Amino acid sequence: MTMAFISAVHATELLPNVVRGAKVTTRREKYENNNSHMNLAITQCSGDTQANLASATAYCVETLNQYSLCNLGYPTNRDFNCDAIKPLLHFHLNNADIGHGHVDTSHFEKVNEMLIYLSVSVCVLNWFANLWEIKKNEYWRYATTGGTEGNLHGILVGREQLRDGILYTSQDSHYSIFKIARIKLTSGEIDCANLRNLVLAHKDKPAIINLNIGTTMKGAIDDLDLVIQTLEGCGFTRDRFYIHCDGALFGMMLPFVKQTLRITFKKPIGSVTISGHKIYINALSKDVEIIASRDTTITGSRCQHAPIFLWYALKKRGLIGLQDEVQKCIMKARYLQNRLGDAGIGTILNKFSNIVIFERPLDHDFTHGQLQPLCIANDIGSRNCACSMHR
């Protein structure tokens, strides 16, 4: 289960005015006062001793173990164990500029290495192609370094196909979308009434649409079907719009949620990207990019281990195991929202999402005291606010 925090107001406004003269130690001060991290410094010209390396590694493991016990706010799945494929970490595996359309491996010097890599990674990519219902030989795909590269590649293909197109996206889209765009976006949140007005105002230009399959902070999912209906209702033929689906957060969950929106290449979408380290047990950041056309990779040289981790997770769980895991995530999110609501804490949980947003407690007194809940309706909506005005 995952959660996200929002800061409703300035921190000083939330602090209870009961303790005077108390010293508050910041996280940075705690870090600087802890000398243990100093053994991570790289200072030995001739190399460090094995004992020091072991000590530094142990410190990292201990710190991460403690951190994982109280870490909230980032949507990753920490329920994984990759001990079974540790032996593969002893091999140097690198993929230099290979996209997986129809790849001829005869020119590679390390043919066996490449065949093993291609067999594993292509199995992963084909699994997602089948999940999103795109026929064999109708797509070009590759495993990227992460969700940002996947977004970059998907939108790049749209811009290459529609050179003078205008990119539309939600204001809650991942920051990488705005970095990729390099233009001033005119849209706020994608509601189709607003989108309709915008595309009609620029009807002479093709439309490139970025849809969020789970926004980073709120877990919102854009309505693909309604967007397509809006575009077609405005007179846009399918050769005049390109839709990229940013599924880095929920792209691997949504297919297993009942009564939900369906992402499929049977609909007029151009590309989908997902992130393997968000939900299906991939400690190494890895993204899968599926594009309904041929193209070349962005980064060229990429780590080959990450697709193996994703392959192992998919093969170990199977479709039924994945579906059960997604349902558990959704149920836990609803349970958390209900418990927080019972405690008088304002929350929001978007439909089909496993991200619960709630007001940020600063300390024990704020969490368990008798403080009047502050109004945060502007951040999470009046229906989700627990203040006396909106309760």
DSSP code at position 100: B
Packing angle of the helix pair 111-131, 305-342 (nearest 10 deg):
30
Q: d(Cα 367, Cα 339) in Å, to the nearest integer?
A: 13
Rg (C-alpha) for the chain, rounded Å, is 24
**Whether the Cβ atoms of residue 266 and residue 133 lie closer than 8 Å to each other:** yes
Within 8 A by CB and 6+ apart from 362, the residues are: 11, 14, 15
| Residue for token pair 């006396």 | 388
**Whether the Cβ atoms of residue 322 and residue 253 lie closer than 8 Å to each other:** no
Instruction: Specify whether 271 is catalytic.
Output: no
Please name the helix (run of DSSP H) or strand (run of DSSP E) that holds residue 252, with its range, or none: none
**Whether the Cβ atoms of residue 147 and residue 175 lie closer than 8 Å to each other:** no
- Name the nearest CA neighbour of 270 among 378, 179, 96, 150: 150
Q: Work out the angle at residue 108's Cα, subtended by the Cα atoms of residues 105 and 110, and round it to the nearest 5 degrees.
A: 115
Instruction: Considering the candidates 106, 271, 353, 388, report the single residue annotated as catalytic.
Output: 353
Within 8 A by CB and 6+ apart from 297, the residues are: 97, 98, 99, 142, 144, 153
**What are 114's two structure tokens?**
């490449």
Cα–Cα separations (whole angstroms), residue 46 to 42, 43, 49, 255, 289: 11, 9, 9, 53, 43
Q: d(Cα 270, Cα 290) in Å, to the nearest integer?
A: 9
Residues carrying an active site annotation? 353
